[in-house]
Amino acid sequence: MKNRMTATLAFLLMAIGLAGTAMSEEMKPVAPNVDFETGAISVPEDYTKWATLGTWAHANTEGEPGSKEYHVVYTQPETIEYYQKHKRFPDGAVLVKELLNAETMSMTTGPAVSHATTIKGWFVLVRDTRGRYKNSALWGDGWGWSLFNAPDSKKTVSTDYQVDCIACHLPALELAPADAPKDDKWIYTLGYPVFQRK
């Protein structure tokens, strides 16, 4: 009886030990919108309650005044705090770029005032400082990369970040502050005033 109890206890301790290894610091979930097992990314459900980093206005190109599209970028408030302190993105930082259609009209404030209308989709980046999900083509160069078409905020439509994303983010490497960590340079931080503040 005593032996059996000792064996059970030993087994329990081993199981606890194994569970402890599985949840080691290295393997902790990166962000709330990442499936821990597969690395699948989704659009974070509550991102509109996060802080906005900045907005990119895309001008009408057909000779009309105003904007035809806005790209509004959100992140967790704690990412802003961390970046201001350390001048780099923390592991698990999430950047959500919301693509919005826009319309322009005359208003009491001016002759050509643009406003956002419907959501077209989302580009999502998740900072990964530990090289997770090496077998996934959506992860690499320090980030998880995913595109979503509205209204489906769960299904990634991009398949390979090296094909779908990287080429367009190459100019960011040159625009980034010279002392930024290598993988942070993929981000167009020049568009985010809260990051420029001292």
- How many chain residues interact with ligand HEC (CB under 6 A)? 19
- Tell me if 77 sits within 8 A of 50, measured CB to CB: yes
Residue 17 CA to residue 146 CA, distance in Å, equals: 35
Cβ proximity to ligand HEC, 106 vs 162, nearer residue:
162
Residue of the chain from 145, 148, 184, 185 that contacts ligand HEC (CB under 6 A): 145
What would the two tokens of residue 31 be? Answer: 């962000």
Q: Could you tell me which residues come within 8 angstroms of residue 92 by beta carbon, excluding any fewer than 6 positions away? A: 30, 31, 126, 127
Residue 49 CA to residue 105 CA, distance in Å, equals: 28
Smallest gap from Cβ 2 to ligand HEC, in A, equals 59
Applying CB under 6 A, the span of 13-21, 111-119, 173-181, 187-195 interacting with ligand HEC comes to: 187-195
**Residue 133 in the binding site for ligand HEC (CB under 6 A):** no
Residue closest to 184 by CA, chosen among 111, 103, 91, 112: 91
Subset of residues 37 to 96 that bind ligand HEC, contact rule: CB under 6 A = 56, 71, 73, 95
Cβ proximity to ligand HEC, 56 vs 82, nearer residue:
56
Residue 55 CA to residue 43 CA, distance in Å, equals: 18
Smallest gap from Cβ 6 to ligand HEC, in A, equals 53
Residue 161 CA to residue 173 CA, distance in Å, equals: 16
Applying CB under 6 A, the span of 18-26, 82-90, 106-114, 157-165 interacting with ligand HEC comes to: 157-165
Cβ proximity to ligand HEC, 9 vs 52, nearer residue:
52
Smallest gap from Cβ 12 to ligand HEC, in A, equals 44
The residue length of the chain stands at 198
- Tell me if 57 sits within 8 A of 114, measured CB to CB: yes
Report CA torsion sign: 85, 86, 92, 95. Answer: positive
What is the widest separation between alpha-carbon atoms in the chain? Answer: 88
**Residue 168 in the binding site for ligand HEC (CB under 6 A):** yes
**Residue 120 in the binding site for ligand HEC (CB under 6 A):** no
Residue of the chain from 72, 125, 126, 176 that contacts ligand HEC (CB under 6 A): 125
Q: Which residues bind ligand HEC (CB under 6 A)?
A: 56, 71, 73, 95, 97, 123, 125, 145-147, 158, 161, 164-165, 168-169, 187-188, 191
